[in-house]
Amino acid sequence: MDMNSTASLADSGERVREVPATLDLFLARIERRAWRMARLALGDPEEAHDAVQDAMLRLVRSYRDKPAEEWTPLFWGILRRRITDLQRRRKVRSIMVGWLGGGRNDDGEEMPAWEPADHGPGPQRTLSDQQAWAAVGEAVRDLPQRQREAFMLRTLEQLSVAETAAAMGCSEGSVKTHLSRALGNLRDVLEDWQ
């Protein structure tokens, strides 16, 4: 797979974020990326949809009166927590299945851990993007959680360091550390991209 041919140079530097006029417009702009990111973290499209839905509801109910400039870090912070909750719940479910003997087949052999399959892209996505994203997704999923969050929010969503720190509930220094390690790990795994 030639990943270099699948990606083009994107805009460089800090992204100048346009302030949306309404919450509807803000969510319309962000919803697909939010779903894509949740799916990347969770692996399952249905759970990703649930996470995005909860994040939307929470933002609209609790923060709609906040200034529009604050919606972006608030939304991603809510979505990040929701994803973490779902991952914890899944872990507990896996443990329960193991306790109840569901982790072994009839021959007593240990079955693979439950992991919802990523069913891949829609038909309109190009094959090269599909393959490239699958590889990136796998590498990102293998990152430790905090590194993954820092990478997704700071690199993919281009939140500022301060916004990323607010969304992750940590210091700006921690964000820089997590991001640096995440990029280092990704560079090692995605050698074809360099």
Partner 1 sequence: MSPQTEHDFENRLRALYRRTADEVDTVAAARLRETRRRALEAAEKPRLFRWLMPMGAVAAGLLAVVVIWPSATRHPGPSRAGTSVSTADTSLPPDPEGADPAMYQDLDFYAWLADQPSATRNVHRGG
Question: Which residues contribute to the site for partner 1 (CB under 8 A)?
Answer: 6-12, 23-24, 27-28, 31-33, 35-36, 45, 49, 52-53, 56-57, 59-61, 64, 121-125, 129, 132-133, 136, 155-156, 158, 183, 186-187, 193-194
Looking at the Cβ atoms of 85 and 188, the one nearer to partner 1 is 188
We find the least distance from the C-beta atom of residue 37 to partner 1, in angstroms, to be: 8
SS3 104: strand
Judge contact between 59 and 74, C-beta under 8 A. Answer: yes
Residue at token pair 């990152």: 143
* Residue partners of 190: CB distance under 8 A and separation at least 6: 3, 135, 136, 139
Burial of 32 by CB count in 10 Å (0-12 exposed, 13-18 middle, 19+ buried)? exposed
We find the least distance from the C-beta atom of residue 21 to partner 1, in angstroms, to be: 14
Judge contact between 172 and 161, C-beta under 8 A. Answer: yes
We find the least distance from the C-beta atom of residue 42 to partner 1, in angstroms, to be: 14
Looking at the Cβ atoms of 5 and 105, the one nearer to partner 1 is 5
We find the least distance from the C-beta atom of residue 113 to partner 1, in angstroms, to be: 26
